[in-house]
Amino acid sequence: MFKEEVNRFVYVNNEGQVMAYLKFYALNDNAYDVNSVYADISLRGKGIGQQLVDLMVNKASQENMLIRPTCPYVLKLFVTNDKYENIWYKE
């Protein structure tokens, strides 16, 4: 199950253990900085990281904010997928 917490989205298993997360903070009034995505080794390659990024993109879009992808995983997604072009905060 995915949940939003303060400055992060998490994926928890049935026992309530956090198995994956995306961390972010408000960079300024117009943008969030996404600085970390982690998934437990048992979840890697299953699209959990991508789903966390998409949750963050939806949040930013709803709030008319942009995203600065400082996490290497998120930056790679932004570079390789045009669907993120309009949400990408470029200084």
Pairing of strands 8-12, 66-69: unpaired
Cβ burial of 34 (10 Å; 0-12, 13-18, 19+) is buried
Report the C-alpha gap between 87 and 51 in whole angstroms: 16
For residue 91, name the pLDDT band (cuts at 50, 70, 90): confident
Mean predicted lDDT score pLDDT of the chain: 97
Put simply, whether the predicted model's pTM sits higher than 0.85 gets the answer yes
Whether residue 24 contacts residue 7, with contact meaning beta carbons closer than 8 Å, is answered with: yes
For residue 72, name the pLDDT band (cuts at 50, 70, 90): very high
Report the C-alpha gap between 76 and 69 in whole angstroms: 9
Percent of all residues in the chain with a pLDDT value above 70, rounded to a whole number:
100
Whole-number pLDDT of residue 78: 97
